[in-house]
Amino acid sequence: MLLFWSEEHVEKWCKDWNLSRGEVIPLDKCCHLAQAWYGPDRREPEWRRRTIDEAQALFAELGFTSEFWRLSS
């Protein structure tokens, strides 16, 4: 997951690396995702990795609902 100045820079990067364009999201939305994903304290014994369903529910809550964000194939 990389940072870019603009859509044009994403397009050029994808072309240079011969990769398909993935999903572009605004930085504030990325920050919301990071806050939610990494908020729980991983030092705590009771912490555990989210299940696929829990992670999917979190994505949905934050508005990541397209096929790109579907975790189970």
Task: Pick the closest to residue 57 from 36, 39, 38 (CA basis).
Answer: 36
Q: Are 14 and 20 in contact (CB under 8 A)?
A: yes
Q: Does 18 bind another protein (CB under 8 A)?
A: no
What is the Cα–Cα distance from 24 to 37, expressed in whole angstroms? Answer: 18
Under DSSP, is residue 30 helix (H, G, I), strand (E, B) or coil? helix
| Shortest separation between residue 53's beta carbon and another protein, angstroms | 13
Please report, as residue ranges, which positions from 30 to 49 form the binding site for another protein (by CB under 8 A).
Answer: 30-31, 33-39, 41-45, 47, 49
Which residues in this chain contact another protein in the complex, by CB under 8 A? Answer: 1-7, 9-10, 12-14, 16, 19-28, 30-31, 33-39, 41-45, 47, 49, 59, 67-73
